[in-house]
Structures are given as C-alpha cells and as structure tokens.
Amino acid sequence: MNNSSTRQIKRERERQRIARKRIEASPRKVRDIIEDYNTMYRDPVFSRDLVWNDILKRDYIKSIFNGLAASSVILADIQSCLEAAQHRGNEYGVKMLEEQVKKFRVSKLDGNNRTAALKAFYNGEFTISGIFQDLDGHNHTVNNQFFSDLPQRLQDTYLEMPVVVTTMHGYTYREMVATFIDIQKGAELSRAEIRWANLTPYNPWVKNHREQ
C-alpha cells in the first residue's frame, strides 16, 4: 500500500470519527458537578436564563438528598461539536464553538437551573429544612440550615449523591439548537427566549421547527 492510499484511509477514518454522533448518559457526583461548574457554558443564544426561586431550589436539593433527582442534565461536548461543525456545519457554527472551546468544556442544553442550584446551596445562598438520611443510614432533622451548618456526614452525603448527566458528542451547532428546542417542547419558551434563539443565522429554521 502506497503513501497516498494510506493517507486516504486515514482521512476516511477521521471523517467517519467526526461524523459519528454519540450520546453518553451516566451518574455523576454532586461534588464533580460543582467542581466542573465553571467549565460549563450557558449559551445565551438559546439556553434558558436562571428562573428558579428559592422554593424550587430547595425542592431540588431535597430530591437530591432523597435520591429522587431523576431528570438528566444535558450537555454538549464543545470540542467534538466543533469538529463536527468544521466537517459538516457552517461558518457561523464553527465561529461560535471556536470561541466557546477557549474557556469551556461543555455547553448546557438543559439543566442550567439545576446545576446552578447545586452550586448555590453549596455556597450557602439558601437554606433547607426536613429530615434527611446520611450515607450511614442515620436520619438528621434539619431546620432552616445552610450547607455549612449541616452535620459533616450530611455534607458528605450531599456531595456524594448522584446526578444523571447526558453528554452529546459530535453534534453541529445547528443540531445543538435543534436539541434545545426539542427538549423545551414540554415547557413553552417565553417570548424573550424565542427572540434570543432567533438572533442567529438560523432564524427561519428555528422558527419553522418550533411551529411544527
């Protein structure tokens, strides 16, 4: 096999690798999400703003302690999405992802309020109340306490609890927008959110997809 054929085979394998979309879903510890929070990008073009009040935040933290937080945080791996955009996307998508990958590892397609609530509770921004069980099976009565005021074993339990995280690899920027819109079909977007999502070269495409 000559060098030209070898290069062609390598190029074809690379093309297939980039073209291959994949989705990974796995549990991650709360501590890992908090540690990686600053590597997660909220794309203002389409991602939802923080809208949860303290009641919703508290309810979510309680569901974490009780092992009932089944809703997945959905992320897109920026590096693989950039490669996909370079291969089969367009100039705008490439430009957007090139800027993002300089500072961030993943882009949040769903779960912005959930990840923010995890970090906010850890940082002492709101309190919780209730009866919670630690990793050793002991119950603790908590009355309007911040994270730092919890018994140490309960703090450890919070940081060790799992959160389901779904990561998408190899999606173009256009496909990331389409995924966001699909996810939000069960929760109507506000006019402002629709307006922001439309501030892209994909305006007609996004609008038609929503109306369908």
Per-residue confidence in pLDDT tens, the chain, 212 aa = 566 666 665 655 655 555 578 999 999 999 999 999 999 999 988 887 899 999 999 999 999 999 999 889 999 999 999 999 998 878 889 999 999 999 999 999 999 999 999 999 999 999 999 999 999 999 999 999 999 999 999 999 999 999 999 999 999 999 998 888 888 776 555 555 555 555 455 544 444 454 44
pLDDT on residue 20: 76
Q: Of 110, 125, 128, 123, nearest to 61 (Cα)?
A: 128
pLDDT at 193: 57
Amino acid at 37: Y
What's the pLDDT at 183?
83
Provide the pLDDT for residue 114.
96
Under 8 Å between Cβ of 189 and 110: no
Question: Which pLDDT score is estimated for 205?
Answer: 47
* pLDDT given for residue 139 in this prediction: 97
Cβ neighbours of residue 54 under 8 Å, at least 6 residues apart?
126
Helices and strands (H and E) in the chain: how many:
10, 7
CA dist 47 to 79, 178, 183, 201, Å? 18, 12, 11, 16
